[in-house]
Structure 1
Amino acid sequence: MKLLRYGAKGQERPGLLDSNGAVRDLSAYVGDIDGTVLTREGRDRLRSIDVATLPEITDFERYGACVGSVGKFICIGLNYSDHAAESDMEVPPEPVVFMKATSAISGPNDPIIKPRGSTKLDWEVELAVVIGAHLAYADEAEAAAGIAGYCLCNDVSERAFQLERHGQWTKGKGCDSFGPLGPWLVTADEVSDADNLAMWLNVNGKRFQDGNSRTMIYKPTFLISYLSRFMSLQPGDIISTGTPAGVGLGQQPPVYLEVGDVVELGIDGLGTQRQVVVAAA
């Protein structure tokens, strides 16, 4: 299944994408696409629905983030060796973990808001994993069974805030609009090999990132197991797994986003996103 949320910001409705690419409304069955319906039992109930009986939605304002009411938005840094090299940082002996504020979550085509004082606004195409079970001290088999699905994420970053303002990376990672998710969540049963997905990102039509999830250092099931040693994971939590080479910071000289720039990105089977950079109010 491809699960999604559509409608005006703050008024998103649950839906799914049918086999013909049409959006179907799920409001008669669930209140939202969130942790309450992303468990194995919840997904099984959704699969039992006759999709042909669902209303087809042909006119809607926007896709929202594909998961609502996210409890934790966890990110993994330097998880591709080529990205670590371009960032002039060593490959970490254990996963680098940081959190994005859930208020950073936005729809896949919503604007990227350039914060006040921003000078080094950057992009990162990433594969995000959506949790579908309560997991604590999980082994990798339990981790694999606890994946609800996968989605596309742009881990938008402000490098000056992240690297030059002291303290944790959180300052440069959690600004409003810095976590576009979607357009849809593809359930795990429809992703044959999450460790081999092509991923790309363009800025103003120029290809900057052209990678594949197979070059991840720490794979999704390992990451879930690892994280579950330090915090329990719940249905609806998001783990964004890192980015390949090609970010603005790694260009010679560096290239950063400015107001009016257009960012487009995608991962095979998980859809695409398009964002325009706008100035903070």
Structure 2
Amino acid sequence: MLPVVVVPTIAIAGSAERFPVRRIFCVGQNYADHAREMGNDPDRQQPFFFAKPANAVVENGATLPFPVRTDDLHHEVELVVALAAGGSDVDAKDAPGLIYGSAVGIDLTRRDLQAVAKKAGRPWDMAKGFDRSAPIAALTPGAPPETGRIALTIDGEGRQSGDLSMMIWSVAEIIAVLSTYVELAPGDLIFTGTPAGVGPIRAGQRVRAEIAGLEALEVSFT
């Protein structure tokens, strides 16, 4: 008997329907302050991308087991955009027309595994694409915000704070460049980068991520 494969979905604000997730792409170091804290030059260079599996998504309010194989789990709050249409070599001016909506997300990172991979010149897959590594709040349909506060707290203590206007590459530009590498499709999600202040999460802590105008995201770790 063939296995039954369930397509991951995420909630849609104000609707009983759910958005099916096809793929998850992430853009690295899209805020100058974060690039600097990671020891890199924030000059406006071509963006680079990595991926997470679709089933890495986590529902808002979830209590998660602390990830295995890491002693240095990090939080990265990000604006996530969801695509209702796709294409290749998309012009930046046409990119907004592909977007279904946006949400608050957290790119969870096993920073110790990432450091080892970087040093050895190896892929980041096991540092970024592990189980339950992509908590996402409900999608708000429509154009994503271009300005507004983006922030993250742990147990009420501020860790990350910035503004969406600080992005090096806009959402439209990210979509356009990504579409030169892969053919985008409905159901694709794109994490658009994180501001400075990334740092560790410990077992027993509660993480809250916020972007002005979008549903806040909360997850906790056992």
**Pair in the same fold by TM > 0.5:** yes
- Separation (CA, whole Å) in 1 of partners of 2:114 and 2:205: 21
2:212 corresponds to: 268
2:3 corresponds to: none
Structure 1: 5+ residue stretches without partners: 1-8, 18-23, 26-31, 34-66, 249-255
Does residue 129 of the first structure (1) align with residue 81 of the second (2)? yes
1:80 corresponds to: 31
- Separation (CA, whole Å) in 2 of partners of 1:10 and 1:243: 27
Contact persistence 2:32–2:167 (CA under 8 A): yes
Does residue 187 of the first structure (1) align with residue 133 of the second (2)? no
- Separation (CA, whole Å) in 1 of partners of 2:135 and 2:10: 17
Deviations 1:133-158 (A, max 9, x none): 12211101211111111111101111
Residue 172 of structure 1, aligned match among 120, 123, 127: 127
Contact persistence 1:112–1:178 (CA under 8 A): no
- Give the 3 Å change call, closer, same or farther, for CA 143–162 of structure 1 in structure 2: same
Alignment of 1:217-232 (within 5 A): 217-232=168-183
- Separation (CA, whole Å) in 1 of partners of 2:107 and 2:211: 14
- Separation (CA, whole Å) in 2 of partners of 1:260 and 1:205: 13
- Separation (CA, whole Å) in 1 of partners of 2:190 and 2:149: 18
Instruction: Letter of the 1:143 partner, please give it.
Output: A
- Separation (CA, whole Å) in 2 of partners of 1:274 and 1:186: 16
2:201 corresponds to: 257
- Give the 3 Å change call, closer, same or farther, for CA 112–135 of structure 1 in structure 2: same
Find the residue that maps to 2:113 and give its secondary structure: helix
CA RMSD between the two structures:
2.1
Higher RCO (CA-CA < 8 Å; seq separation 6+): 2
1:89 corresponds to: 40
Instruction: Letter of the 1:239 partner, please give it.
Output: I
- Separation (CA, whole Å) in 2 of partners of 1:246 and 1:15: 29
1:277 corresponds to: 221
Give aligned pairs, total. Answer: 213
Percent of residue pairs identical: 29
Contact persistence 1:209–1:244 (CA under 8 A): yes
Instruction: Letter of the 1:103 partner, please give it.
Output: N
Alignment of 1:143-222 (within 5 A): 143-165=95-117, 166=120, 167-182=122-137, 184-189=138-143, 191=144, 194-222=145-173
Structure 2: 5+ residue stretches without partners: 1-5
Contact persistence 2:10–2:59 (CA under 8 A): no
- Give the 3 Å change call, closer, same or farther, for CA 172–113 of structure 1 in structure 2: farther
TM-score of the two chains, using structure 1 as the length reference: 0.71
Q: By how many angstroms is 1:11 displaced? A: 10
- Separation (CA, whole Å) in 2 of partners of 1:159 and 1:112: 18
Instruction: Letter of the 1:137 partner, please give it.
Output: D
